[in-house]
Homo-oligomer: A and B are copies of this chain.
Amino acid sequence: VTADIRQVAAEAGVSTATVSRVMSGRGPASARATAAVRSAARLLGYLPNSSASSLRTDRSMIIGVVVPNLANPVFLPFLRTVEHRAQRHGYAVLVADTQHDVEVERRQLDRLGAQRVDALVFAGRPADPDHVRRLSEAGLPIAEPVTFARQAGYPFSSRAASAIDDACGHLATVGHRRLAYVSRGGSVRSAPERWRLIEASCRSVGIEPRPVVLGTGPGGAAAGVPKLAATLASLVKASEGPTVLWSNSQVLAPLLLEAMAVAGIDIPADCSFLTFGDSAWAVAFRPSVSVITTDLDAVAVAMTASILQQLGVPEPGPPVGLRPDVFVIRGSIGAAPTRV
């Protein structure tokens, strides 16, 4: 369907070597030849076949982005950032959703391997870290959040820890003594450090933490708001019930808030609320929702910069620093209620 390099060469009255040199910008070419090739290429709508070029040069100009769950909007800024910076340097972006599944991840990595991607960027923790380590040792440039943060001097724990400490400290100060950390089945596994940090931090300020794991069926928590409301009602209204609900994720937060509204739990009079992950809706909600934010975008920028550098692309500007997570106090946190 498309023109090839020989047709362009013929049209321009030069050899294929000259066309190649002009199109890639590598190697010498007279002004005359350059002009002839350019116009011939435009005339024929010539686009160099990157399969052929990859085969010859052993560079695919493709970066693979591995996302643990494409349904989760938190990964969107990540994907966006990588795509923007990659395309600026002529790289295309292949996206692969692993659906939090080891087997799917393996298949996807094989697919990316078959495409001979020049680098791999993980938007979240890989399901099979060993496999990834092996690829990395085989010479493939790879960026993965946890390892990356560690190398950059921000191991996960320290990045999140201060924000979690801030949150727990504030909660204790305004009188809370019992906290429930709510998550869904799938997510617990993906971020076990969080729970450990929260647990430790709570204990140190005299708050008793308690994990609440919601069932993860088809439809998940979304399917059963009335049921969820009942669960939360009995949880919160018990005499020794928690006075704070802490949502494990941005996705879970609105479901919990809705269920609390349905259950007639007033925020923050009956129970305070906070969640991981900020959003415009969290701000708009009344009372506005306290959050712990991670600057995922900055992480993506730093990871992409590191990858591009390994690929030998000069990225101008100073290296981007990673900001630790931040605890944002908003109206959804109030003084602990005194239960009758």
Contact = CB atoms under 8 A, between A and B. Distances in A.
Interface in A264-291: 279-281, 283-286, 288
Interface of A: 1-2, 47-52, 54-55, 60, 62, 70-71, 73, 76-77, 79-80, 83-84, 87, 90, 92-97, 107-108, 110-116, 138-140, 222, 251, 254-255, 257-258, 261, 279-281, 283-286, 288
A191 B48 CA distance: 35
B95 A95 contact: yes
Nearest to A113: B47
Contacts of A80: 70-71, 97
Nearest to A71: B80
Contacts of A49: 55, 114, 116
Given A2-B113, A261-B284, A83 B55 contact: no
Contacts of A48: 114
B70 A97 contact: no
A77 B71 contact: yes
A200 to B, nearest CB: 31
B76 A71 contact: yes
A5 to B, nearest CB: 12
A134 to B, nearest CB: 9
Given A283-B258, A284-B255, A92 B77 contact: no
A191 B204 CA distance: 54
* Nearest 3 Cβ contacts at the A-B interface: A281-B281, A258-B284, A254-B280
A47 B95 contact: no
Most chain B beta-carbon neighbours within 10 Å: one of A76, A107, A140: A76
Contacts of A114: 47-50
Nearest to A255: B280
Contact of A73 (B76, B96, B116): B76
B87 A111 contact: yes
Contacts of A50: 51, 114-116
A113 B251 CA distance: 36
